[in-house]
Amino acid sequence: MEIDTFYFKLGLNTEPIIDDTTLRDGIQMPGLAAAPKDAAKIAQFLSQIGVERIEVFHYQEPDKKAAKLIQDLNLNMRVAGWCRAVKEDIDSALQCGFNEVGISHPVSDIHFRAKWPTKTREQILANMVDVVEYAAKTHGLRVFVHGEDSTRADWAFERDFINAVAQAGAECYRVCDTVGIGLSDPRAPLPNGIPAKVHAIRKETRINAIEIHAHDDFGNAVENTMAAIKAASGVWDKIYASTTFLGIGERAGNAETEKVILNLYMHYGVNKFKGKTEKLKQTADFIGKATGYVVPPNKAIVGDYGFAHESGIHTHGVLSDPRTYEPYPPELVGNTRRLTIGKQSGKGIIKHKITQLTGNAPDEQALMAVVEKVKEVYANGRRASLKDEEFKKILRTLKLLPEINGR
């Protein structure tokens, strides 16, 4: 049975649009930064993998330089400036030449009490409406409004908030699961039921588009992002998914861009990503190098060990048929299959490795001699897999490979 049989391509009656925030929320992760030229290269990679909108900072000089470099590339991708709900931020975005902005503003009483304890909800909302009108109506910018802490907001107020900013000129409302407490279960009620929120906004507000921005504090960011997209099917014409590559971001991070893209392509048949997933690994490697983020080797899809096999059972299966332990070919995401020798390795992978390195299949006696040498290495406390050069040294010791320079 072909492996494609298991990808049913369920289909979606909505258009999911990836709105990547690696260069905004992502680099807010402690210890990360990206030089302007690297930020522009990251934007270029994101465009190549199918991202259709990104948002960036524009306050410090390096941010402004990055924003200009990105816009000068004329990528097939929308670029938005991220703003607080103050007119000075809108002015900064205009100076940088942006055609659209995202304006972030809390919608929960938890944030109101902590940030503006002396202001009423009405005063807070009036200021937000004023800033949205300034951006949308006075200056003609496309405006997204980010409802910070949406999943802990009083729905009656949030509904009024959405309607007010829609009337002020906002085109899209972002549901921000700021502390990652959103629930993907369709039975979960407001405020933190993600499907319930997607449906309620469609039914009870006048906003034209919706977006989901999920944090990963419970490890559910991708799940909640996909739940929002599925809930939008047949309800919204399109839905934006705010994600970061590798899931980098504040605290536990965000929904990974690469995971959402691959799920949409493989499970839901979103064919606009066809031919673009092959650059996912290359994108991950560059972002890691450019920002200082160490990509975990077992990171799904793009980690170095994503298609690594060492144990006897796994390597035997993969050598017979890669589909036994790989859900899709590593080439689909630009990754590489790695067959390594380690403590759990069996004769099959060792024989394969000998053949690969020497060009000849070993006889049983030679094979068992190598197996014993490998066991000796790990009997002495070794943990890591053997590097190719270390394995070659064993082969040279047993005269299965010629010595280097006669030694």
CA atoms lying within 13 Å on the CB side of residue 159: 15
Contacts of 399 (CB under 8 A, 6+ apart): none
Quickly list DSSP for 336-349.
Answer: --EE-B-TT--HHH
Q: Check: CB of residue 301 under 8 Å from CB of residue 294.
A: no
Cα separations in angstroms, 268 against 181, 194, 241, 385: 25, 19, 15, 37
For tokens 């096999």, name the residue. Answer: 309
Residues 356 and 187: their CA atoms lie apart, in Å, by: 54
Q: What is the pTM of this model?
A: 0.93
Give pLDDT tens digits for 114-170: 999 999 999 999 999 999 999 999 999 999 999 999 999 999 999 999 999 999 999
Mean of the per-residue pLDDT values of the chain: 95
User: Could you tell me which of 179, 160, 60, 59 has the C-alpha nearest to residue 111?
Assistant: 179
Q: Check: CB of residue 279 under 8 Å from CB of residue 51.
A: no
Count of Cβ atoms closer than 10 Å to residue 30 Cβ? 6
Sketch out the chain's domains with CATH numbers.
Answer: 3-291 (3.20.20.70), 308-406 (no CATH)
Output the CA torsion sign for 243, 278, 325, 368. Answer: negative
Cα separations in angstroms, 35 against 54, 60, 62, 288: 17, 12, 7, 13
In this prediction, residue 6 carries a pLDDT of 86
Q: Going residue by residue through the chain (407 aa), what tens digit of pLDDT does each one get?
A: 466 778 888 999 999 999 999 999 999 999 999 999 999 999 999 999 999 999 999 999 999 999 999 999 999 999 999 999 999 999 999 999 999 999 999 999 999 999 999 999 999 999 999 999 999 999 999 999 999 999 999 999 999 999 999 999 999 999 999 999 999 999 999 999 999 999 999 999 999 999 999 999 999 999 999 999 999 999 999 999 999 999 999 999 999 999 999 999 999 999 999 999 999 999 999 999 999 999 999 999 999 999 998 887 888 899 889 999 999 999 999 999 988 898 888 888 899 989 989 999 999 999 999 999 899 899 988 888 898 899 999 999 999 998 876 55
Give pLDDT tens digits for 232-254: 999 999 999 999 999 999 999 99
201, burial (CB in 10 Å: exposed 0-12, middle 13-18, buried 19+): buried
